[in-house]
Amino acid sequence: MKIGENLINKVKEKIAISDVYRQPEDQITITVDRNDLPEAVRILYYDLGGWLSSMVPNDERQINGNYTLYYILSMEGGKMTPDDEIVKEDKCWITVKTYIPANDPTYPSVTLKVPAAVWYEREAFDMFGLTAVGLPDPRRLMVSDDWPEGLFPLRKDSMDYRHRPNPVDHKDEPEHEFIKPEGAGVLDVPLGPLHITSDEPGHFRLYCDGDTIIDADYRLFYQHRGMEKLAENRMNYDQMGYLAERVCGICGYAHSIACIEAAEKAIGLEIPLRAQAMRVICLEIERLHSHLLNIGLACEVTGNVNAFMHIFRIREFSMELAQLVTGGRKTYGNVVVGGLRRDMTGNEIKQSLKILETIETQTNEVWDAVMDDKNQIKRWKGVGILDKQVARDFSAVGPNVRGSGFKRDSRYDHPYDFLTQLDFDIPTEDGCDVFARETVRYKELLQSVSIIRQCFEMMPGGLTVIKPQTLIKPQAFAIGNDEAPRGENIHWIMHGNAQKVYRWRCRAATYNNWPSLRYQFRGNTIADAALIVCSLDPCYSCTERVTVVDVKSNKSKILTHKDLKRYSQSLKNHPLKNL
């Protein structure tokens, strides 16, 4: 029996499936009627042990006259208990596909049955104008308040969309409404968009009873960079790797790998073993410097600057390691379709092994010192609880979900590249709090050192790159996945003509962690809020809008791009402009 065949048969018992498509073998796409969509996703999610890894809206009117939705589920078991897991041989990806008529761009909301779909369905409207009927939270997600109505950037008939349109007058548009709990005496505390504990913007509204947070709401996407639109029909696949690296300044290499491997899998391209091993090395180097950064920041946010400086001293060794492997202190600019641009020498491998010993020894020493600090542990324990059921409902990823006891890791559930030949563990903790998440990161640092060491010691010979004969396979699509430092990254690519991208969907790990954050705020104090956000290791984008709060009237106003430009020009002749 083929991989996933048993799961598909169970869905067929309740839902009519019009088509089953495999590309590659462990990536299965089933097509259902749009009215059956919510139940099909629910069955796979809760009954059969799936997790919602991504949802891809696509404008396929040029291909079949419809819009199309792809709900991508990682079939690995619910994992609420140690026995609730699918056997390794049956783990796969199942995508539920449905067509949305162009003259009726609506579909029944999946969120009502699977809460993890909420952000995806809000985004589908912002970008494509596809309305999820019954969606509990239909507010704008990605576009700003002053974005013109009726302009949906990722529709193919928006190909003339090159620049941000002139914003509409903000006075005629409703401001984004934060959901505030009812009741007298609820204090509204804004955190951000710009805050001293974060170098990126996120607007959090904390609703408090005294000093205790009883609920929260937040808004992100303060600058949508339009990267998916930029990729369409303009870039070849080697250029796509460079673009994907710019998704994140910390784990850009993980995005590049997931993006390029999606393109490779869509045409069935197998890269050389040496390139596979070196890709894994670079991914784990990225995990080293990212986890060290987050553990250090989790100390700094609580005032432990001394621990932060010692951890950053160790982090410097990971940057030296990256330079030996790729030629640069970041692992960027090295991925191409078919492998890698740069090989390593034997001497570089020897130097790398010595650096690994230093990282391992000093990491253990500093962690032991942090664990001896009772005040530090007190600030971490019991703070920011991510309940297991909430994590299950919202498909959280990375250390965020592993700190709540779930053995979820793309390297374990869907191993890629050279990982199938390596021996490593997936650390989990049951505390569900900040302490559990940081402990998971510490243990993963040691596992990353082990994985890199194994790759060096088992390094295959041969080429690091092969040139594919062709990438022209129109409408072929596939998933590229890897375990970035923050969790599972999912890239979905549909090939177009002339070796160009028809549709690229990038889902970063933090995207799946944001929706459940409000539950982690509840019951904590205002002083813990920044630490809870930090423990997610979140990835924001840059900002071009701010919220101004008038402390006298307790009213807020969002300053648009137009407002900021006008205010900036008014300061040109200010008498203090040269100070």
Binding residues for Ni(2+): 248, 251, 539
- Amino acid occupying residue 399: P
Cα angle value 3/6/10 (rounded, 5°): 140
Distance CA(286)–CA(96), nearest Å, equals 32
The token pair that represents 161 in the structure block: 């969309």
**If you compute the radius of gyration of the chain from its CA atoms, what whole number of angstroms results?**
24
Cα angle value 59/63/69 (rounded, 5°): 40
The token pair that represents 215 in the structure block: 């609920």
Distance CA(164)–CA(545), nearest Å, equals 14
290, 489 contact by CB (below 8 A) = no
- Which residues, at least 6 apart from 299, have a Cβ–Cβ distance to it below 8 Å? 305, 307, 308, 311, 370, 376
Annotated binding site for Mg(2+): 228
Distance CA(223)–CA(257), nearest Å, equals 24
What are 292's strand-pairing partners?
A: none
Annotated binding site for Fe cation: 251, 542
399, 444 contact by CB (below 8 A) = yes
Phi (first) and psi of residue 575, to 5 degrees = -65, -20
DSSP state, residue 477: E
Distance CA(129)–CA(158), nearest Å, equals 12
* Alpha helices, H only, 388-433: 388-394, 398-402, 410-413
Annotated binding site: 228, 248, 251, 539, 542
Q: In what order do the strands lie in the sheet with 501-507?
A: 477-484, 487-495, 501-507
Candidates 56, 29, 164, 117; CA nearest to 502 is: 56
Residue position matching structure tokens 């020894």: 361
Query: Is the bond preceding residue 193 a cis peptide, omega within 30 degrees?
Result: yes
The token pair that represents 371 in the structure block: 């664990």
